[in-house]
Structure 1
Amino acid sequence: MKLGIEDNSALVLASTSGLGKASAKALAKEGVNVTINGRNEKKLEEAVDELNHVGKGNVKGTVGDISKKEDVRRLVERTVKDQNGLDHLVTCAGGPPSKVFIDTDDQDWYESFDLLVMSVVRSVRESVKFLKEGEGTIVNITSMSVKEAVPNLVLSNSVRMSVIGLMKTLSKELGPEIRANSVLPGPHKTGRIKELIEEELKRGNIGAYEEGLEGWTEDIPMNRLGKPMELGELVAFLSSPRSSFINGAAIPIDGGGSNSNL
C-alpha cells in the first residue's frame, strides 16, 4: 500500500535496533527521509548503512542519549537541517531495568522518568514548531504494560502511564495540525525479550531459556512473538494520511495476549 508519505521527513528515537529500527525501516521503505538515533556510534553507522538499502528514503544517523536534554535538542535540530524539515516524530526508548518494587531506589525512578517520559516531553517540545508546518504526526512506542502490569517490571508499569496521559493531552492541544497516537506492543522478537528472559534465569525463576520464551508466548492466541516489522508498519500507517482520523489513540499490537477489554 502506498501511504502517501514519500519525501516526508522523520526522526525516530532509539532506532539502531528493535522496534525503533523497524519503525525507521518501514518509513524508509515508504520513501520517507529518516534520521535515526542511538548512543553507540558503530552500531548507528551499521544501521544507517542497512536502512539506506531498503527503499527510496534517505537515512541519516545522529549519536545522542535521549535521556539528556541537550542531546534531544541537537537531534531535532540536526534532523531539520539534514532532512530539510520534520514531518513525523516517532518516540521510542529502551526499557528500564527489570526489578520488583522493593529492589528499586530513588535513582532508578529518576532515570526511568528521564528515559521514558522526559525524552518524549523534550522531543515533542523541540519538534512542535516544525511539525505544525505540515500535517505533522507524533507516534509514541510504549508498551502493553500500560494496560496490564507485567511482573518484575514495576518501573515500566508505572512510569509509562505518564506518557499515555501526555499523548492523549497532546492530541487535544495540538490538533488539528498535529496528530498524536501511541502503539502498545506486547512481546516482540527483539533484544529486550532476550534480556528479560536472561534476568529471570539469573533470579532462578526459570530453569532454561526455552522455558522463559514459552512463558512469554503461552498466553498469546497467535502462539508466537510479534515481528518487529509488524509494529514498524503500524507506525508508518499512523504517520500517514491513511490514518488521518486516528488521533489520541493507544493501539495494542500484542497478538491478543492482553486480558484487558479495552
Structure 2
Amino acid sequence: MDLEIQGNAAVVTASSSGLGKASAMALAEEGANVVINGRDEERLDRAVSDVDAAGSGTVVGQRGDITDEDDVSALVDRALDEFGGIDHLVTSAGGPPSGSFMDTTDEDWNDAHELLLMSVVRLIRESAEPLRADGGGTIVNITSRSVKEAIDPIVLSNSVRMGVVGLEKTLSREFAPEVRANAVLPGPHETSRVENLVEDAVGRGEYDSYEEGIADRAESIPVGQLGDPTGLGRTVAFLSAPSSAFINGTTVTVDGGLGRATL
C-alpha cells in the first residue's frame, strides 16, 4: 500500500534502536526522508545504515539527548537544513526506571518528567511552525499502554506518560486543521532491549533457551506472541499518511489484546 508520503520529511526521536527505529524504517520504506536520533554515536551510525537501506529517501543521524534543550533545537534545525521543512514528528523515549511509589525519589520524578513529557513539549514547540507550513503535517507520540491501565511496578511511567496523551489530545484541537496529533500505546514488543533481557535470563539459568524466555513473556498476551516492532512502525507510518486524514486526537493501543481497559 502506497501511503503517499514519499519525499516528505520526518523527525523520529530515540530512533537508534527499538520502536523508534522501527518507526523510522517504516517511514523510510514509504520513501520519506528521515532524521533519526540517539545518544550513542556508534549505535546511531549503525541505525542510519539500517534505515537508509530500508527505503529510497535520505536518512541522516543527529546525535543528541532529548532531555537537553540545545540538543532538541539542533535536531529540529538539522531537519530544516537537510530537507527544508518537517512534515512528520514522531516522539519516542526510553522508559524510566521501574519502582514503587515509596522507593521513588524527587530526582527520579524530575528525570522522568524531563525524559517523557518535557522532551515532547520542547520538540513540538520547536517543530510547530514547520509542521504547520505547506498544508500541514502530523505528530505521533509513542507512549505506552500504561496510560490506559496502570502496570506494576512502574509508577513513573504510569503517571508521567499520561501528560503526553493529555498534550496530544489538546494539540489535536489547538493545531487543527493544519496538524493532526495522535498517540500509539505499545504493549510488549520483541525489541533489542527485550532480547537482551531474555538472553541475560537464559544466562542466569532462568530459562533453558531464548525461545522459552520469549514464550514465557508472551504467555499472557491473547494473540500468543510478543509484538513485532515492524508492525508498530507501520502503524506510526499509517497515522502519518493522508489515508488516516480523519484520525486525529486519538490513541491507538498496539498490545495484542493484553490490556483489559474497555476504553
Shift of 1:191: 3.3
Paired position in structure 1 for 2:63: 63
TM-score calculated relative to the size of structure 1: 0.93
| CA 68–255 in structure 1, closer or farther in 2 if over 3 Å, else same | same
1:179 corresponds in structure 2 to 180
SS at match of 1:53: helix
**Equivalence for 1:138:** 139
Give the Cα–Cα distance (whole angstroms) in 1 for the partners of residues 154 and 15 of structure 2.
Answer: 22
Per-residue CA distance 1:156-183 (angstroms, 9 max, x = gap): 1111011110000000100000000000
Superposed displacement of residue 85, structure 1: 1.0
Q: Can you list the C-alpha shifts for 1:87-145, whole angstroms capped at 9, x where unaligned? A: 00000000001212222111100000000000100000000100001331000000001
- Deviation of 1:217 after TM superposition, in Å, equals 1.8
Once residues 186 and 77 of structure 2 are traced to their aligned partners in structure 1, the CA distance between those partners, rounded to angstroms, is 29
- The equivalent of 1:88 in structure 2 is 88
**Post-superposition shift, 1:184?**
0.4
Could you tell me how far apart the structure 1 residues matched to 2:199 and 2:152 are?
A: 15
Q: What secondary structure is seen at the aligned counterpart in 2 of 1:182?
A: strand
Residue 195 (structure 1) shift: 6.5
Equivalent in the alignment of 1:235 = 236
- CA offset digits 1:14-58 (Å, max 9, x no partner): 000000000000000000000000001111111111211111111
Q: SS of the counterpart of 2:62?
A: strand
In the TM superposition, 1:1-262 aligns within 5 A as 1-133=1-133, 134-194=135-195, 208-209=206-207, 213-214=214-215, 216-262=217-263
In terms of mean alpha carbon deviation, does 225-234 or 214-223 score higher?
Answer: 214-223
For structure 2, which runs of at least 5 residues remain unmatched after alignment?
none
For the residue of structure 2 that corresponds to 1:127, the secondary structure is: helix
1:61 Cα offset (Å)? 0.3
TM-score with structure 2 setting the length: 0.93
Distance 1:154 1:212 in 2: 25
Q: Offset of 1:193 from its aligned partner?
A: 3.2
Asked whether the equivalents of residues 11 and 79 of structure 1 are also in contact (C-alpha less than 8 Å), the reply is yes
Whole-Å separation in 1 of the counterparts to 2:83 and 2:141: 21
Unpaired runs of at least 5, structure 1: none
Query: AA paired with 1:142?
Result: T
CA distance in 2, matches of 1:196, 1:258: 22
Deviates more, 1:186-195 or 1:249-258: 186-195
Q: CA RMSD in A?
A: 1.8
Task: Tell me which amino acid in the other structure corresponds to 2:121.
Answer: V
- Tell me how far apart the structure 2 counterparts of residues 28 and 178 of structure 1 sit (CA, whole Å): 21
Residues 1:215 and 1:162: Cα distance change in structure 2 (over 3 Å): farther
Q: Percent identity?
A: 56
Partner AA of 1:186 in structure 2: G
